[in-house]
């Protein structure tokens, strides 16, 4: 039986098409290759879309812009026109109500109003300044005071000066009295001028913890401010137990001579008991107000008390690491551990 002739088949197209190269050289699976190609197409579309789509640009109309500019310039010129109530001050002169002039004649500057000064030719702002100064100073005593007024022209003053019912100049001051110790016009050391009471030359020592500011001010060099600080520091401490504590006062730290004067005329009464601070019951707000404790040590005192229980004596305060022996010695007279 004869063999049927073979029909040649068309060449077989390689499977995968364009993805074959990607799969061969990149080692991707078919799904991964398709995903990568899709991602590239999306990126290409995102890059090409702005180039293909352009929004409509607004049309520029120069004639319309010129019309608006002309209208704005006209409005601005109208606002600056003289005579308008809302015109800027620099575009027009300031006008004040007209005041009728009066003929020259004698007048009392202390009884004249601002309108009266204007009626005699003084500018409006200078007239108000003269009246304001007169009321603040309690009246004029001489023409020289008016002559020094700022803004008053000399020609206006010379025209009005003959009619002012005031002396030309202030009365001369009385000469200073002569003192035997310092010569004419000079005060001897520590002499009283009469304005402030003099300091006593022979002052008896007094109790530092019972003195008030008036008593402290009797010491030379101690004024009201320093006396107030001495009393305030005493209240913060609970009382002075040693005279050398005066050197700790803020305003006396750089004045050893004043500290020596205070120690010379003051004393701490023997057996004086200062106001004590109970470190077992006092709160943080009560402890840190003491000058020898402050906030840092107050926190440690409260924390140590909570961890180890109440203090049995002032010696227990030495267990706090940051408390130096010198500071403990100063603090010990003010501490109790009930």
Q: What does the block give as tokens for 145? A: 């005071």
Average pLDDT, the chain: 81
Average pLDDT over residues 149-172: 88
Tell how strand 183-184 and strand 206-207 pair up: unpaired
The answer, yes or no, to whether residue 77 has pLDDT greater than 90, is no
The answer, yes or no, to whether residue 93 has pLDDT greater than 60, is no
Confidence (pLDDT) at 268: 93
Instruction: Domain ranges for the chain, please list them.
Output: 98-171, 206-267, 277-336
Q: What superfamily would CATH give domain 277-336?
A: Photosystem II 12 kDa extrinsic protein (1.10.150.320)
The predicted model scores a pTM of 0.44
The answer, yes or no, to whether residue 19 has pLDDT greater than 50, is yes
Average pLDDT over residues 40-48: 88
Q: Which CATH architecture has domain 98-171?
A: Orthogonal Bundle (1.10)
Neighbours of 209 (CB within 10 A): 17
188-211: per-residue pLDDT in tens? 554 444 455 567 777 889 999 999
Confidence (pLDDT) at 226: 92
Per-residue pLDDT band for 175 (boundaries 50, 70, 90) equals low
Q: What does the block give as tokens for 315? A: 């010696």
How far is 332 from 313, CA to CA, in rounded Å?
10
How far is 165 from 106, CA to CA, in rounded Å?
7
Beta-ladder partners of 107: 164
Per the model's pLDDT, the better-predicted residue between 54 and 207 turns out to be 207
Confidence (pLDDT) at 48: 84
Per-residue pLDDT band for 228 (boundaries 50, 70, 90) equals very high
The answer, yes or no, to whether residue 74 has pLDDT greater than 90, is no
* Residue with the two structure tokens 């007169």: 134
The answer, yes or no, to whether residue 16 has pLDDT greater than 60, is no
Among 16-25, 28-37, 84-93, 167-176, which range has the highest average pLDDT?
28-37
Per the model's pLDDT, the better-predicted residue between 112 and 186 turns out to be 112
Closest by Cα among 92, 167, 96, 102 to 128: 96
Confidence (pLDDT) at 180: 47
The answer, yes or no, to whether residue 22 has pLDDT greater than 70, is no
What percent of the chain has pLDDT above 90?
A: 32
Confidence (pLDDT) at 331: 93
- Three-state DSSP at 303 gives helix
Per-residue pLDDT band for 51 (boundaries 50, 70, 90) equals confident
Average pLDDT over residues 4-10: 62
230-260: per-residue pLDDT in tens? 999 999 999 999 999 999 998 898 888 999 9
């Amino acid at each position: 039986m004869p063999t049927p002739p073979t029909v040649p088949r068309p060449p077989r197209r390689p499977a995968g098409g364009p993805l074959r190269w990607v799969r061969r050289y990149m080692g991707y699976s078919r799904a991964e290759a398709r995903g990568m190609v899709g991602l590239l197409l999306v990126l290409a579309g995102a890059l090409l879309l702005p180039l293909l789509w352009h929004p409509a640009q607004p049309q520029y109309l120069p004639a319309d812009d010129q019309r608006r500019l002309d209208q704005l310039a006209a409005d601005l010129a109208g606002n600056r026109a003289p005579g308008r109530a809302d015109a800027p001050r620099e575009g027009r002169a300031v006008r004040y109500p007209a005041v009728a002039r009066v003929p020259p004649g004698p007048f009392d500057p202390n009884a004249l109003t601002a309108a009266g000064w204007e009626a005699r030719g003084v500018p409006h702002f200078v007239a108000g300044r003269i009246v304001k100064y007169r009321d603040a100073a309690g009246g004029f005593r001489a023409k020289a005071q008016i002559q020094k007024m700022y803004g008053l022209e000399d020609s206006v003053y010379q025209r009005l000066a003959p009619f002012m019912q005031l002396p030309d100049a202030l009365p001369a001051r009385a000469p200073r009295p002569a003192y035997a110790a310092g010569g004419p016009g000079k005060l001897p050391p520590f002499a009283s001028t009469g304005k402030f009471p003099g300091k006593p030359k022979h002052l008896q020592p007094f109790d530092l913890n019972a003195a008030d500011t008036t008593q402290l001010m009797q010491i030379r060099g101690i004024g009201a401010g320093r006396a107030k600080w001495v009393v305030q520091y005493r209240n913060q401490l609970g009382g002075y137990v040693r005279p050398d504590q005066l050197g700790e006062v803020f305003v006396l730290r750089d004045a050893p001579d004043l500290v020596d004067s205070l120690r010379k005329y003051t004393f701490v009464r023997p057996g004086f008991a200062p106001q004590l601070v109970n470190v077992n019951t006092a709160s943080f707000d009560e402890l840190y107000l003491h000058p020898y404790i402050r906030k840092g040590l107050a926190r440690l005192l409260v924390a140590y008390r909570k961890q180890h229980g109440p203090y049995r004596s002032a010696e227990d305060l030495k267990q706090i690491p940051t408390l130096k022996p010198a500071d403990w010695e100063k603090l010990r007279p003010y501490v109790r551990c009930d």
